[in-house]
Amino acid sequence: MKDIFQIVESGSWSIENLEQLLALRGDEQKKLLTLAGDCLLKSRGNEVYYRGLVEFSNICTKDCFYCGIRKSNKNAERYDLPDDAILDAATFAYEHHYGSLVMQSGERDDPVFVDRIDQLLRKIKEKTNGRLGITLSLGEQTPETYRRWFKSGAHRYLLRIETSDEELYRQLHPDNEKHRFRKRLDCLKAIQDAGYQTGTGVMIGLPGQTFKHLAGDLLFLKDFDVDMVGMGPYIEHEDTPLYSRRLELWTPLERFLTTLNMVALLRLMMPDINIAATTAMQAIDPMGREKAIQAGANVIMPNITPSNLRRNYLLYQNKPCTDEGAEDCSNCLSIRLEMIGRRPGFDKWGDSPHFFNRTRE
Ligand code: SAM
Ligand code: SF4
């Protein structure tokens, strides 16, 4: 086993070294996580940026095998928040000094939806005096749509690659034009080309996934020059096709510990990007997001979806905070951050310096 410090110091990010580091547990893992936490404090300080998350609709035209709100899940109770409620959520984020908003939903690309988002972006910008940053997470769209939404005020876009291994991707999606790995990659490129701060990420602990796949994912993120990353453990949902492979899964604890190592390694590989502490981590460990922050994450996405609808955006089972109001989440988060020596970067967009470094070149 090679020395952790030596690998990190020399930046020898080979597949073999990454595989070894992903497998670390116990005291050796602690060393890795501390190293990454220190790297974040040194490069970015102790601020954690808030993005108020509005999951405004669970209507989806796709059928990803892992997702609880996939089109074919007849048990999902569908909802679509009215524009007023989305604008209220944006105002809530602005008034609570969150700095940014993330608009997320199931995937639709019809003209009515595209126009509606365009209008909403303009209204949110107007209502918040252009001060609230807007991130979109609305799946695969045409290059023209990405450009249009960018012009209307969105400046960050999140589209997870889910896995960078084409073969594994194929096992997780139906075999049709709506679910092609190549299309996902093309969309990510189009997002970057449209001028967005570009975010992607993967799920960790998928059936059939190995440390080698995950090591490849880390190298993919670095090669793609991403500005922001959201990674989380895969969590099974009984109304999805992937549930039939649940006996192949690592234990939730294994998925969680591996996710921590993924966050830590990525922080060491890319000190100037933004990394989110994701809700799925909290679903496995009540202190999951705090642990991710201590391992190098610097963004948190408090859920500000109206709480009566939140329980219907069930991507996986035991999704946390589905019964709390946005206000509860806001208070409980600040206290949780203080407990680990971090402070909220209130009223700041908290942009990724990586974006400016990469676009200046
Ligand atoms: N529809 C858009 C898309 O797919 O990009 C945005 C919303 S989608 C629900 C956001 C992310 O949820 C996906 O990229 C996926 O990584 C994650 N997700 C879906 N099902 C999940 C599961 N069972 N466990 C963990 N994460 C899941
Ligand atoms: Fe739809 Fe996104 Fe879920 Fe896939 S992951 S089914 S695109 S909401």
Residues 235-279 have pLDDT tens digits of 999 999 999 999 999 999 999 999 999 999 999 999 999 999 998
240 burial via Cβ count (<10 Å: 0-12, 13-18, 19+): buried
Evaluate whether 127 touches 90 at the Cβ level (below 8 Å): yes
**Is 169 a residue whose pLDDT tops 80?**
yes
Q: Whose CA is nearest to atom 5 of ligand 1?
A: 139
| First CA to last CA distance, the chain | 37
Q: Whose CA is nearest to atom 25 of ligand 1?
A: 234
- In which element (H, E) is residue 218 found? helix 211-224
What's the confidence (pLDDT) of residue 225? 96
Would you list the DSSP string of 290-345? HHHHHTT--EE--B-S-HHHHTT--SSTT-TTTTS-HHHHHHHHHHHHHHTT-EE-
188 alpha carbon to ligand 2 midpoint, in Å? 16
60 alpha carbon to ligand 2 midpoint, in Å? 6
What's the confidence (pLDDT) of residue 209? 98
For residue range 36-46, what is the model confidence (pLDDT) as tens digits?
999 999 999 99
**Is 205 a residue whose pLDDT tops 60?**
yes
Q: Which residues pair with 53 in a beta bridge?
A: 102, 303
284 alpha carbon to ligand 2 midpoint, in Å? 21
Which ligand is the nearest neighbour of the Cα of 159? 1
CA of 140, closest atom in ligand 2: 7
168 alpha carbon to ligand 2 midpoint, in Å? 17
CA 104/CA 55 separation, integer angstroms: 5
For residue range 87-142, what is the model confidence (pLDDT) as tens digits?
999 999 999 999 999 999 999 999 999 999 999 999 999 999 999 999 999 999 99
What's the confidence (pLDDT) of residue 284? 95
- Rounded to the nearest 10 degrees, the angle between the axes of helix 252-269 and helix 15-22 is 130
- Rounded to the nearest 10 degrees, the angle between the axes of helix 111-127 and helix 143-151 is 20
62 pocket-lining for ligand 2 (C-beta < 6 Å): yes
Nearest C-alpha neighbor of 305 from the set 28, 58, 21:
58
39 burial via Cβ count (<10 Å: 0-12, 13-18, 19+): middle
50 burial via Cβ count (<10 Å: 0-12, 13-18, 19+): buried
Confidence of residue 325 (pLDDT cuts 50, 70, 90): low
Confidence of residue 187 (pLDDT cuts 50, 70, 90): very high
What's the confidence (pLDDT) of residue 3? 87
Q: Whose CA is nearest to atom 3 of ligand 2?
A: 67
Which ligand is the nearest neighbour of the Cα of 199? 1
138 pocket-lining for ligand 2 (C-beta < 6 Å): no
Nearest 5 degrees, angle CA 90-CA 280-CA 168?
A: 115
78 alpha carbon to ligand 2 midpoint, in Å? 13
- Residues ≥6 apart with Cβ < 8 Å to 287: none
Number of C-beta neighbours around residue 26 at 10 A: 8
Which ligand is the nearest neighbour of the Cα of 62? 2
In the chain, what percentage of residues exceed pLDDT 90? 85
Q: Is the dihedral of CA 301, 302, 305, 307 positive or negative?
A: positive
Evaluate whether 7 touches 19 at the Cβ level (below 8 Å): no
C-alpha 163, offset from chain centre: 13
pTM: predicted TM-score of the whole model, two decimal places: 0.96
Nearest C-alpha neighbor of 281 from the set 265, 269, 299, 308:
299
Which ligand is the nearest neighbour of the Cα of 136? 1
What integer best gives the mean pLDDT of the chain? 94
209 alpha carbon to ligand 1 midpoint, in Å? 17
**Is 2 a residue whose pLDDT tops 90?**
no
What's the confidence (pLDDT) of residue 333? 81
What's the confidence (pLDDT) of residue 90? 95
